[in-house]
Amino acid sequence: MTQQPQDERTRIREAMDRLLTGQAAASNGSLTVVALAAEADVHRMALQKRHADLKNEFYERVRNEAQQVPEPERRLRETVTKLRKTLANKEAELEKLRQQVTLLTLASAVLTQRKDPDPEPSPTPDNVFPFRPPNR
């Protein structure tokens, strides 16, 4: 490794220590990669790309030393919980609609099959003449 990445790695590890002990100097002190990058004076994408192992180490230390779930993982878990709840609601709504379709289909079948035993012809006015004689 060249001197610059080694220097970055040293600054990142020192920034990890400061963040985990609550002694942040250059960031807001949150236990996120953004705060770690700011604290180490390293571009966030450099931390994400070149030093991904340190990013993972940081999150592992957050879990173990601070006894916290890392912020991105917490947000993802919340999103998954919301999506599962939405999915359950949609499945319940779909089942309700399926039952309603079944009931409406049955009602339609009953109404189309229902016939009166003695259907009376509708009365015709005196000035109307049928083209064909009525079938009787």
Query: What domain count does the chain have?
Result: 2
Looking at residue 81, what is its pLDDT? 95
Domain that holds residue 44: 3-68
CA angle, corner 60, sides to 59 and 62, nearest 5? 60
What are the backbone dihedrals phi and psi of residue 88, each rounded to the nearest 5 degrees, phi first? -65, -40
Looking at residue 96, what is its pLDDT? 96
Radius of gyration (Cα) for the chain, nearest Å? 37
Asked whether residue 36 falls in the same domain as residue 79, the answer is no
> In a structure prediction context, what are the per-residue pLDDT tens digits for the chain, which is 136 residues long?
556 667 888 999 999 888 888 888 888 878 888 889 888 888 888 888 888 899 889 888 888 887 777 777 888 889 999 999 999 999 999 999 999 999 999 988 888 887 655 566 667 677 776 677 666 5
pTM above 0.85, yes or no: no
Q: Within a domain: residue 26?
A: yes
Asked whether residue 32 falls in the same domain as residue 78, the answer is no
Asked whether residue 17 falls in the same domain as residue 56, the answer is yes
Domain boundary among 45, 68, 91: 68
Token pair, residue 46, equals 């450099």
